């Protein structure tokens, strides 16, 4: 796999392109001009061309991009796996909302199954099997690397178990402090701090006017 050095802003746009490309592929579209893609994703064609230039030689200019080839390149070079098997731990209010939203058009894979300590939650929910926590080691899909954490108790203990099962990335909604070993990436999602940030920004804008 060729190692590429892609600017952060470009990396943030790749999932947007990918989503649009997957839709086009689903609809049988094989070629797309940057102008047409620009209209779909609301990003300037020049930005798209520059972003795609990091992906190597994509063919002659003016002929349009090969949709299948682009998707393949994203998959291979950026390590994006549409078949990523994700697990969710904690099928409560937040967890259920995410299970119901498990329609990511195979852009980043899908929640393959979920786990909970409450036996009442351990049944199929929104088409996803929810297993008891006691079956984590047995039921976790082979090669699963990413877990979404929406639990309310025993976070550290749960993280330790997940890491022991091979989890390398955690999307954490719990906003409880925990430690993870080096090499395990954590993405914290916190609505409260987002609101706080917005309040600070709005206040600082108010004080300037
Ligand atoms: N990040 C945010 O912006 C945000 C917003 C709201 C809630 N939260 C947090 O998200 C978490 C879930 O919130 P909720 O409203 O869905 O709570 P909830 O009580 O409805 O759901 C929690 C679920 O996790 C299960 N659970 C608890 N401990 C577990 C464990 N150790 N292993 C497996 N399952 C376990 C429970 O049985 C329950 O089904 C909480 O920690 C809450 O503080 C975060």
90 lines ligand 1 (CB under 6 A): yes
The answer as to whether 94 is a domain residue is yes
Kindly state the helix (H) or strand (E) to which residue 75 belongs, with its residue range: helix 67-77
Q: Tell me, using a 6 A CB cutoff, whether residue 134 lines ligand 1.
A: no
Percent over 70 (pLDDT), the chain: 89
pLDDT of residue 144 exceeding 50: yes
Average pLDDT, rounded, for the chain: 89
pLDDT digits (tens, 9 = 90+) for 5-30: 788 898 888 888 988 998 899 899 99
Q: Are 154 and 133 in contact (CB under 8 A)?
A: no
Tell me which of 59, 77, 95 is where a domain ends.
77
How many A from CA of 128 to the centre of ligand 1? 18
Q: How many domains does the chain have?
A: 2
Domain for residue 19, yes or no?
yes
41-85 per-position pLDDT tens digit = 999 999 999 999 988 877 777 788 999 999 888 777 666 656 788
Residue 111, token pair as written in the block: 């929640």
Atom 39 in ligand 1: residue holding the nearest Cα: 92
Nearest to 19 by CA among 120, 147, 106: 106
> Is 93 known as a binding-site position?
yes
For ligand 1, atom 42, the nearest C-alpha belongs to 174
pLDDT of residue 85: 87
* pLDDT of amino acid 94: 96
| 148: CB partners within 8 A, 6+ apart | 86, 87, 88, 89, 95, 98, 111, 170, 171, 173
Residues spanned by the domain of 37: 8-77
When pLDDT is cut at 50, 70 and 90, the band that residue 166 belongs to is very high
Whose tokens are 């309310």? That residue is 152
pLDDT greater than 90 at residue 31: yes
What are the counts of helices (DSSP H) followed by strands (DSSP E) for the chain? 8, 9
Last residue in a domain, options 53, 77, 101: 77
Residue 92: partners with Cβ closer than 8 Å, 6 or more residues away: 116, 121, 150, 151, 152
- Could you tell me if the ipTM is greater than 0.90? yes
Q: Is residue 23 part of a domain?
A: yes
In a domain, 38, yes or no: yes
174 lines ligand 1 (CB under 6 A): yes
């Amino acid at each position: 796999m060729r190692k590429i050095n892609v600017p952060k802003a470009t990396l943030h746009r790749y999932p947007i392109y990918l989503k649009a490309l997957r839709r086009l592929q689903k609809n049988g579209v094989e070629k797309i001009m940057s102008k047409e893609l620009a209209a779909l994703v609301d990003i300037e064609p020049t930005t798209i061309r520059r972003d795609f230039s990091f992906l190597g030689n994509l063919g002659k200019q003016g002929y349009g991009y090969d949709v299948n080839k682009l998707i393949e390149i994203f998959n291979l070079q950026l390590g994006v796996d549409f078949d990523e098997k994700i697990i969710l731990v904690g099928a409560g209010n937040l967890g259920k909302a995410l299970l119901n939203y498990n329609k990511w058009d195979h852009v980043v894979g899908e929640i393959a199954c979920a786990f909970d300590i409450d036996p009442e939650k351990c049944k199929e929910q929104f088409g996803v099997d929810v297993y008891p926590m006691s079956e984590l080691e047995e039921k976790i899909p082979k090669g699963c690397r990413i877990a979404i954490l929406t639990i309310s108790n025993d976070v550290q203990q749960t993280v330790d178990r997940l890491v022991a099962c091979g989890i390398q990335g955690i999307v954490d909604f719990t906003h409880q402090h925990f430690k993870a070993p080096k090499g395990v990436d954590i993405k914290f999602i916190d609505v409260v701090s987002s609101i706080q940030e917005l309040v600070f920004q709005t206040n600082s804008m108010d004080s300037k006017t």
